[in-house]
Chain A
Amino acid sequence: MKFGVVVFPGTWSDRDCGWVIDQVLGAELTYLWHKDTDLKGCDCVILPGGFAYGDYLRTGAIARFAPVMEKIGEFADRGGLVWGICNGFQVLCEAGLLPGALIRNASLEFRCEWTNLVVERTDLPFTSKCGEREVLHAPIAHGEGSYFADPATLSRLEQRGQVVFRYCDATGRVVPGANPNGSLHNIAGIVNARGNVLGMMPHPERCSETELGGTDGLKLFRSVAENALQVLVS
């Protein structure tokens, strides 16, 4: 099982992800430079947080033209696991690998705080080690994390069960007060229809060791490590 962590100019969470994969999980790790045109045999590609290409024009708008993104698109089309975290989620939306967009937080503030997330899907390669409607404790750190999609897209996402994580209170209730950024339907993470491309604003790589305040994020890395080799990449 090999994870690939993509590094764009301006990416900042690549080493955090790499640390968890390499030092905490003990899985094989390689970094993928934005100019790479080969995914080096990775079984899961992570697009980490940061400000790829300075987030110029819009978050993720320029990153999607990086040479590595074409290969990631092909990999996703073949069923490969692609996981966008924070800025990575924004890049996946701009690239059209996930529907919708992430816009300025309703508060206009950069929010850096712990959130609670209710897990709505546990049948995915990313969440199989989570319990049914388990509440995960995970930090966010973003200024543009308010999920938006037009009403038709939003209702399609809901009908197909593509919402994976929702901001909730400590008991798992999805309430407006638990929504840190104004995301529609308290959406914190979504998956594509096929279930192999996940985007989420919270940072699981920053809650995978007790020293950092929690280990709920490690459940996602462990899920991927367990399932990635069984995912059929045609």
Chain B
Amino acid sequence: MIAIVIVTPKPVVNDPQGVTVKQGLASLGFSEVSDVRIGKYIELKLEESSEHAARERVEAMCRQLLANHVIEDFRFDIVRDGRR
């Protein structure tokens, strides 16, 4: 199965990339965009058959390495191969 991990800067952390992209969108006429946050997309291929076990493992990976809890939040989905 595949884990899709999304890491984003915490709301309290200044995200200058997001601010700059928001300004870019506004200059193109997309003035409805009130906020932009830029994060990371991480895809993990897992040799694991139980979704429950996979969730626990990916949660641990996020806490220990994939996200820095001081500045980032994370969320993830587990999907079966080929179902994306």
Does B associate with A?
A: yes
Task: Identify the A interface with B (CB < 8 A).
Answer: 57-58, 61, 93-94, 99-101, 103-108, 146, 148-151, 182
Contacts of B71 in A (CB 8 A): 101, 103, 148
Given A58-B68, A103-B71, the answer on whether A150 and B16 have CB atoms closer than 8 Å is: no
- Which one of A57, A106, A150 lies within 8 Å of B70 (CB-CB)? A150
What secondary structure prevails in chain A residues at the interface with B?
loop
If A107-B16, A146-B14 are given as contacts, then 7 extra A-B residue pairs at C-beta distance below 8 Å, sorted by A number, are: A104-B16, A105-B16, A106-B14, A108-B16, A148-B70, A150-B12, A151-B12
- Which one of B12, B16, B70 lies within 8 Å of A182 (CB-CB)? B16
Beta-carbon contact of B20 and A108 below 8 Å: yes
A140 to chain B, nearest CB (A): 17
A197 to chain B, nearest CB (A): 17
How big is chain B's contact interface, by range? 10 to 19
- Scoring B residues 9 to 30 as 1 if CB is less than 8 Å from chain A, else 0, what string do you get? 1001110110010000000000
Within 8 Å of chain A (Cβ to Cβ): is B4? Answer: no
Contacts of A146 in B (CB 8 A): 14
Of residues 27 through 45 on chain B, the ones whose CB sits less than 8 Å from some CB of chain A are: none
Closest to A184 in B: B14
Compute how far the CA of A57 lies from the CA of B61 in the bound complex, rounded to whole angstroms. Answer: 13
- Which one of B9, B17, B68 lies within 8 Å of A61 (CB-CB)? B68
- Which one of A61, A99, A106, A108 lies within 8 Å of B65 (CB-CB)? A61
Within 8 Å of chain A (Cβ to Cβ): is B1? Answer: no
Beta-carbon contact of A101 and B70 below 8 Å: yes
Beta-carbon contact of B16 and A106 below 8 Å: yes
Name the residue in A57, A93, A107 with the highest tally of chain B Cβ atoms < 10 Å from its Cβ: A57
Closest to A65 in B: B65
Compute how far the CA of A93 lies from the CA of B70 in the bound complex, rounded to whole angstroms. Answer: 10
